[in-house]
Structure 1
Amino acid sequence: MSGLQKFALLVTVIGALNWGLIGIFQFDVVATLFGAGQQSFGARAIYTLVAIAGLISLSMFFVSERRNYRVVKKDNVRPIRNM
């Protein structure tokens, strides 16, 4: 996972927590932080950032895991000689 993907996942989780607060307590942290509500430029920028982060995080569903395994063939193994 790249640094951009980790950051996007972090922003997505923060956005999900904000949505949880909206759904349970009807309290929007982002709108409260910017004072003017959901229509302020700062709040709209944060909402847009969360949406972009969600799209980046969504792309992680379609990436297969890469594992680096070292394959050692039995034919290439030489016996250890006594010195």
Structure 2
Amino acid sequence: EETVLHGFNTEHVYSAPHLTMDSHVLCPQVKLETVDPKTCSPKEYLETFIFPVLLPGMASLLHQAKKEKCFERKRTKFIACD
């Protein structure tokens, strides 16, 4: 099932094999006709203009960090007791 959020295709962004749409919480959709970026509420602005760009980027960043093993503890040969 393809999900479109404010004209933004989330299937394209979450196409990595390990990611599923069930693991992501999507923001509620707001109709584009009724949202004016200069007069809408901060919540509507974030959900309409910021989150559709920011959240997929953050997901991609975390995916790449995991791929590069950034979350694993690095072992060193230094022994502090010596």
Tell me the TM-score normalised to structure 2 length: 0.36
Q: Which has the higher helix share?
A: 1
Tell me the TM-score normalised to structure 1 length: 0.36
